[in-house]
Amino acid sequence: MKVQFLGAAQTVTGSCYMMEACGKRFCVDCGMHQGNKAIEERNQSELYRPGDIDFILVTHAHIDHSGLLPRMAKQGFAGPIYCTKATCELLELMLQDSAHIQEMEATWEAKKFQRRGLSNPPVALYTVEDALKASSLFHTVDYHTVFEPAPGISVTYYDAGHILGSGSLRLQIRENGKTTTVIFSGDIGRPQSLIVRNPETPPQADYIFMESTYGDRDHKDEHRSVEELGEAIAYSHSRGEKVIIPAFAVERTQEILYCLHLLARQGKLPEDMPVFVDSPLAIRATEVFERNQELFDSEARRLLAEGDNPFELPNLRYTLSKEESQAINDYTGPAIVISASGMCNAGRVRHHLRHNIWKPGASIVFVGYQGVGTPGRKIVEKAKKITLFGEDMEIAARIYTINGFSGHAGQSQLLDWLEPLLASNVRVILTHGESNAQKTLANRILQRFGTSPHIAAYLEELEIEGQGRDAAAVLHEAQAHPRVNWEFLTDEVDRKWGMFKGRLSDVQQRPWVEQTDLQDALEKLDYALTRLLSRM
Ligand SMILES: [Zn+2]
Ligand SMILES: [Zn+2]
């Protein structure tokens, strides 16, 4: 049996294990790569070969695990996509939303190309139609119920406690007279999370592919999240400003509502502070939550049984249209705005940041993981300025990072999840984490359990076979990380700078206004260089 890592190897996005076993080719997750341009180019990789995939297993609805499903459908995949019922309901919303974003971005790009007189703008990665095509392929499965997507391959879903419907998968693969058991952890949740149940560890396996997002740390003060949110609200309320909460529309938004509900019960949500949920997706996702209450943890079910809906608030306003969203910016007075995307790299939240991030007294509250290269990460890492819609802005709002909302297990919780599985022969392969987190977790696993995990590399292929034997690995380093051609770029810049200086004496003879125009342009270049240097 063979596995190739088409994503989430030494990064957190683009989860996709491409498997070959029992004469079938299938993948576990098919997530979108998110980050800078070079990382996002992986979304166009030829290696997926959608026409040659027999079936797909999806661990949960997050786009970094599912976002390429419409692209697969667009390019000829027509097999079944297995997931739990709640994941299926969420995916129907999320894939369409993602497709909508792709289409909008392609339209903007096309306009930019047109304005610059360029032809052949990039096309959307996929469209809403492709998303609908992918949704038509869903087959829902229940937790703890074995099913056989192909002869020789049995699959069971366990509750990963990460978001509604999330699963860890256990596969039993019978090949050449041998049975090999493989676990894909998916994203592992936190035992204390507000809505979903605690993560469960599937039974024994030979190989464990395990996420490691927070492999290097525990969540500090995770029990204080309600209080911390209360502090941000009190801070901005007393200054008459807004609290902006960038949050994923699914799970995180519902958790924030739940948390605000608890604050309201404690009298800590001021009555003159409306709560805007500014995300059409979040509104529909909340309905999916309300339809799947049997998946909630006991605490949330207790509230519901008492007739108390944890997602309701006295002063809650949902905004669907763009006009309603824009009207929030004209609203004067304190307010709470929950809007996507959670990492501030897309969506309506960027407009709210643009209107508030430079205001002393405003708060920006981060409640989720911030990926490398995203604006959210820059703000969390205490940048003094941020560029939004091409404009540089001073960060004067107070920045809060609340750890208690993380959907991911912290280091000790990951180790606790793993512990029951560590029989003598098991092999652990770490995925879905940045290098530092992975190295730290690998060390902790070695210290605590005496086994040294393998850290998967992008495009690496592992031949796995039998009980806990070491997997033979093939790296594809040159293909995975094409060398950055610094020489070419620096030569280009040198050459053009030489030309510029060569033309300067001529420029000095030109009319004053023309010279000052060129001076403006050079000042902008100088500023861009200063900013570039500040990042080196
Ligand atoms: Zn996830
Ligand atoms: Zn993930």
Q: What is the pLDDT of residues 105-160, one digit of tens each?
A: 899 999 999 999 998 998 999 999 999 999 999 999 999 999 999 999 999 999 99
Task: Compute the distance between CA of residue 42 and CA of residue 363 in angstroms, rounded to an integer.
Answer: 35
- 187 C-alpha to ligand 1 centroid (Å): 5
The CATH code of domain 222-405 reads 3.40.50.10890
Q: What is the pLDDT of residue 192?
A: 86
pLDDT tens figures, 390-407: 899 999 999 999 988 889
- 224 C-alpha to ligand 1 centroid (Å): 22
Indicate the pLDDT class of residue 472, thresholds 50, 70 and 90.
confident
Neighbours of 126 (CB within 10 A): 26
Neighbours of 24 (CB within 10 A): 18
Is 469's pLDDT higher than 70? no
Q: Determine what percent of the chain is predicted with pLDDT higher than 90.
A: 82
pLDDT tens figures, 268-278: 999 999 999 99
Q: What is the pLDDT of residue 16?
A: 98
CA distance to 21, 65, 149, 398, per residue, from 182 (Å): 12, 18, 15, 45
Task: Compute the distance between CA of residue 237 and CA of residue 333 in angstroms, rounded to an integer.
Answer: 8
CA distance to 85, 363, 371, 374, per residue, from 35 (Å): 30, 25, 7, 7
Q: What does residue 207 show for φ and ψ, rounded to 5 degrees?
A: -130, 140
Residue 100, judged by CB atoms within 10 A of its CB (0-12, 13-18, 19+), counts as middle
- 43 C-alpha to ligand 2 centroid (Å): 16
The ligand placed nearest to the CA atom of residue 164 is 1
Q: What is the pLDDT of residue 424?
A: 75
Residue 283, judged by CB atoms within 10 A of its CB (0-12, 13-18, 19+), counts as middle
Of 165, 172, 174, whose CA–CA distance to 141 is shortest?
Answer: 165
Stretch 344-352: mean pLDDT: 90
Q: What is the pLDDT of residue 465?
A: 78
- 40 C-alpha to ligand 1 centroid (Å): 18
The angle at the Cα of 289, spanning 285 to 294, to the nearest 5 degrees, equals: 160
Stretch 438-453: mean pLDDT: 96
Is 104's pLDDT higher than 70? yes
Pick the range with the lowest mean pLDDT from 159-168, 347-356, 357-366, 418-427. 418-427
Of 138, 149, 158, 45, whose CA–CA distance to 95 is shortest?
Answer: 138
What are 428's strand-pairing partners? 208
Is 470's pLDDT higher than 70? no
Indicate the pLDDT class of residue 62, thresholds 50, 70 and 90.
very high
Q: In terms of pLDDT, which residue wins out, 363 or 475?
A: 363
Is 211's pLDDT higher than 70? yes
Sign, CA torsion 52/55/59/64: positive
Q: What is the pLDDT of residue 423?
A: 79
- 453 C-alpha to ligand 1 centroid (Å): 22
Mean confidence (pLDDT) of the chain? 94
Indicate the pLDDT class of residue 477, thresholds 50, 70 and 90.
confident
| Token digits of residue 151 | 């002869």
Q: What does residue 294 show for φ and ψ, rounded to 5 degrees?
A: -65, -15
Topology of 2-217+407-480 in CATH? Metallo-beta-lactamase; Chain A (3.60.15)
Stretch 467-487: mean pLDDT: 82
**Distance of alpha carbon 17 from its chain centroid, rounded?**
17
Q: What is the pLDDT of residue 405?
A: 87
Indicate the pLDDT class of residue 342, thresholds 50, 70 and 90.
confident
Topology agreement, domain 2-217+407-480 and domain 222-405: no
- 356 C-alpha to ligand 1 centroid (Å): 29
Q: What is the pLDDT of residue 261?
A: 93
Is 471's pLDDT higher than 80? no
CA distance to 173, 205, 360, per residue, from 180 (Å): 5, 8, 58
| Token digits of residue 336 | 């709470």
- Domain residue extents for the chain: 2-217+407-480, 222-405, 487-516
pLDDT tens figures, 26-56: 999 999 998 888 899 999 999 999 999 999 9
- 267 C-alpha to ligand 2 centroid (Å): 35
The answer to whether 480 and 489 are in contact (CB under 8 A) is no
Stretch 359-380: mean pLDDT: 91
